[in-house]
Chain A
Amino acid sequence: MLEARLEQANLLKKVVDSITNLVQDCNFDCNDSGIALQAMDNSHVALVAMMLRSDAFSPFRCDRNIALGINLTSLTKVLRCAQNEDILTLKAEDAPDVVNLVFESAESDRLSEYDIKLMDIDQEHLGIPDTEYAASITMPSAEFQRITRDLLALSESVSIECTKEGVKFSCQGDIGSGSVTLRSHTNVDNEDRNVSIDLSEPVSLMFSLKYLSNFCKASGLSSRVKLSLSNEVPLLVEYALPSNSFLRFYLAPKIGD
């Protein structure tokens, strides 16, 4: 059986809010290492990969592999019944029909309990190759969100070019064009504001801004985001979560015919 207790319901709320625009139904794969999720969007353009390691929970107990097939709209409805600061416990039997969610207030004696019916989801898992990316950019997640939002006002696509000069996000649209260039930057007062660019060779790729802007819904999960790029492979957008857990988005590039 599964029993996984999260100190703050907020973490799961935010994770689900971040992916619900991309994915409708998905399996939460539980085993002794934690709770993982991998799902493509309907258009097969983007892939979400989440890992909540067992260390992110206390306690965490899951003695065999359990796949919880959950409709994310249903999960969102139930998670709205939790206060952000509530302690959340997920429970399921070994071959479950439902997943049980218990929300406890640390301050009062309130205890809420919900069951969500599970679905059989025949989900294909993709093998994500280990990639040595040509460029990695770590930057404030709010900054990435702002750039994405600003350029989306002008265009559907963004070109991301990374050179030793810095990283340039640029777009061309009907009303004109725009670009934002960031250079490596160390903020002495607040390292959350740092921009670090790790480059082994120049990269230039084009991506859909609609997808990037969806990924940016995860900005509330982490003050930092890491973009990893290599020519002609999907972009990796990664938000680090507590206890070495993560929420990753992969986005296939747009490539010239």
Chain B
Amino acid sequence: KTQQRSILGFFAKK
């Protein structure tokens, strides 16, 4: 089972 990750988990808010 795979889950779609959020881009926010990789790129931090500035």
List chain B residues, Cβ under 8 A from A251: 7
Beyond A252-B9, A255-B3, A257-B3, 17 extra complex contacts between A and B, CB < 8 Å: A45-B4, A45-B5, A47-B7, A125-B13, A126-B12, A126-B13, A126-B14, A127-B12, A129-B11, A206-B2, A234-B7, A234-B10, A251-B7, A252-B5, A253-B5, A254-B2, A255-B5
Kindly list chain B residues whose C-beta atoms are within 8 Å of the C-beta of A157.
Answer: 2
What residues of B have a CB within 8 angstroms of the CB of A47 in the complex? 7, 11
Partner of B7, one of A45, A125, A206, A257: A45
Contacting pair A124 B13 (CB below 8 A)? yes
Chain B hits for A206, CB < 8 A: 2
Which residues of the partner chain B approach A12 to less than 8 Å between Cβ atoms?
none
- Chain B residues in 8 Å Cβ range of A234: 7, 10-11
Given A127, A254, A255, which contacts B11 in the complex, CB threshold below 8 Å?
Answer: A127
The CA-CA distance from A233 to B8 in the complex, in Å, is 11
